[in-house]
């Protein structure tokens, strides 16, 4: 028993010595979680398909329950595309690139949050903008972390704000005329 304890102490001390030298010493997990809500209400959405493609192949399919939440573990050295879809709503996308992440880090886990709001399409409005990712993240060696591309987010956010301003005007116009875009789903739940 004493020798096992001694070996454990030696292993821990070796880990601290490596950490002090700036070397990675801990295996880690990469977790992505979030909540999908309705744009108009802010309420969690049930029945949203969260498709996760790893290097172009379907790796996970989660269908949200009433709380609108999802959670998935990612692997290193893969490119992930997240697709958030429901038949009556406009799809949105996010990408996360874990390629280049080392096998060991100084922290036990990386956690990323993706909160997405989806909305009902309005006839005649071009939603092509939403075929682009709403966010992009990748491993950055300089920070030793998976980081969101803030410049990209600012650019896409500007375009989304312009679109949503027009969208809300159109929703107000349709709502006052009594002809909702999709009577069975308008307003979105």
The predicted-structure confidence for 20-72, as pLDDT tens digits, reads as follows 344 445 567 889 999 999 998 899 999 999 999 999 999 999 999 999 999 99
Domain range enclosing 81: 24-177
pLDDT level of residue 2 (50, 70, 90 thresholds) = very low
Over residues 1-8, mean pLDDT: 35
Average pLDDT, the chain: 81
pLDDT level of residue 14 (50, 70, 90 thresholds) = very low
In a domain, 187, yes or no: no
Q: How high is the pLDDT of residue 31? A: 93
In a domain, 163, yes or no: yes
In a domain, 186, yes or no: no
Please report, for the domain that includes residue 151, its CATH number. 2.60.40.10
Q: How many structural domains is the chain composed of? A: 1
Cα–Cα dist 142/126, whole Å: 39
In a domain, 5, yes or no: no
Q: How high is the pLDDT of residue 21? A: 42
Is the per-residue pLDDT at 110 higher than 90? no
In a domain, 185, yes or no: no
Is the per-residue pLDDT at 135 higher than 60? yes
Over residues 74-85, mean pLDDT: 95
Is the per-residue pLDDT at 179 higher than 50? no
In a domain, 120, yes or no: yes
- Which residues are CB-contacts of 31 (< 8 A; sequence separation ≥ 6)? 71, 72, 73, 74, 109, 110, 111, 112
In a domain, 9, yes or no: no
In a domain, 17, yes or no: no
pLDDT level of residue 11 (50, 70, 90 thresholds) = very low
- pLDDT tens digits, 142-165: 887 889 999 999 999 999 999 999
């Amino acid at each position: 028993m004493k020798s096992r304890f001694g070996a454990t102490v030696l292993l821990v001390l070796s880990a601290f010595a490596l950490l002090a030298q700036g070397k990675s010493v801990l295996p880690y997990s990469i977790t992505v979680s979030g909540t999908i809500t309705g744009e108009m209400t802010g309420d969690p959405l049930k029945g949203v398909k969260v498709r996760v493609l790893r290097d172009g192949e379907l790796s996970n399919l989660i269908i949200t329950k009433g709380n609108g939440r999802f959670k998935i573990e990612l692997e290193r050295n893969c490119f992930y595309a997240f697709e958030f879809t429901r038949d009556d709503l406009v799809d949105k996308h996010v990408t996360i690139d874990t390629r280049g992440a080392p096998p060991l880090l100084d922290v036990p886990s990386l956690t990323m949050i993706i909160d997405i709001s989806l909305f009902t399409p309005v006839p005649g409005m071009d939603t092509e903008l939403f075929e682009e990712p709403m966010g992009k993240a990748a491993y950055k060696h300089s920070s030793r972390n998976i980081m969101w591309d803030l410049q990209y987010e600012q650019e896409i956010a500007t375009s989304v704000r312009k679109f949503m301003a027009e969208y809300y005007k159109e929703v107000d116009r349709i709502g006052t005329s009594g002809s909702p875009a999709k009577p069975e789903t308008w307003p979105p739940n």
